[in-house]
Amino acid sequence: MFTRFEEYAATQMLGQPDSPPRSDGKLFFSEEWQRTVFGMALALSKQGHFEWVDFRQHLIASIAAWEQDACDGKARWDYYERYTMALIEVLEQCGVLEPGELERQMKPDEANK
């Protein structure tokens, strides 16, 4: 049906638990890092590093984990924080990243935040 990976990938999410924020027909990013992480996942899957459906399974599981947290002390909702976690997980699973590699690359003070 879709000849463009970008449209296939976004359409798979629409109406589903991992549907991305959007406004006026466009993807909605309130911060530049959100745009970056969304684009990275798309670009890496398009290149064939992982199947889009595999990334989405991590994302849906990450969202479900947030929803199942107890209300007391629950972290605020942040779609792109969940998205970032899912992307790191799928990159570790497919071997692009070694487990913990990102944390080791980050400066200790940032990694411990």
Partner 1 sequence: MAALFEYDENREAASAAKVRALEALLIKKGVLGSDAVDAVLSHFESVAGPFNGARIVARAWLDSAYKRRLLEDTPKAIAELNFPGMNGAEGEHMKAVANSETVHNLVICTQCSCYPWPVLGLPPYWYKDPVFRARGVREPRAVLRELGVPIPAEKEVKVWDSSAQIRWFVIPERPANSEQLNEAQLAALVTPEAMMGVALVPSPQAI
Q: Which residues bind partner 1 (CB under 8 A)?
A: 1-4, 6-7, 10-11, 14-15, 19, 22, 24-27, 31-33, 35-40, 42-44, 46-47, 49, 71, 74-78, 80-81, 84, 87-88, 96-97, 101-102, 105-106, 110, 113
Distances (CA, A) of 103 to 33, 47, 82, 109: 17, 24, 17, 10
Gap between the Cα atoms of 79 and 82, Å rounded: 5
Contact at 8 Å (CB) between 66 and 77?
Answer: yes
**Complex with partner 1: residue 35 or 61, whichever CB lies closer:** 35
Q: Pick from 100, 65, 2, 79: which is nearest to 37 by CA?
A: 79
- 61 versus 85: smaller Cβ distance to partner 1: 85
Shortest separation between residue 69's beta carbon and partner 1, angstroms = 10
Question: What residues pair up with 27 in beta bridges, in sequence order?
Answer: 22
Nearer to partner 1, 68 or 76 (CB): 76
**How does DSSP classify residue 91?**
H
Cβ 65 to partner 1, closest distance in Å?
Answer: 15
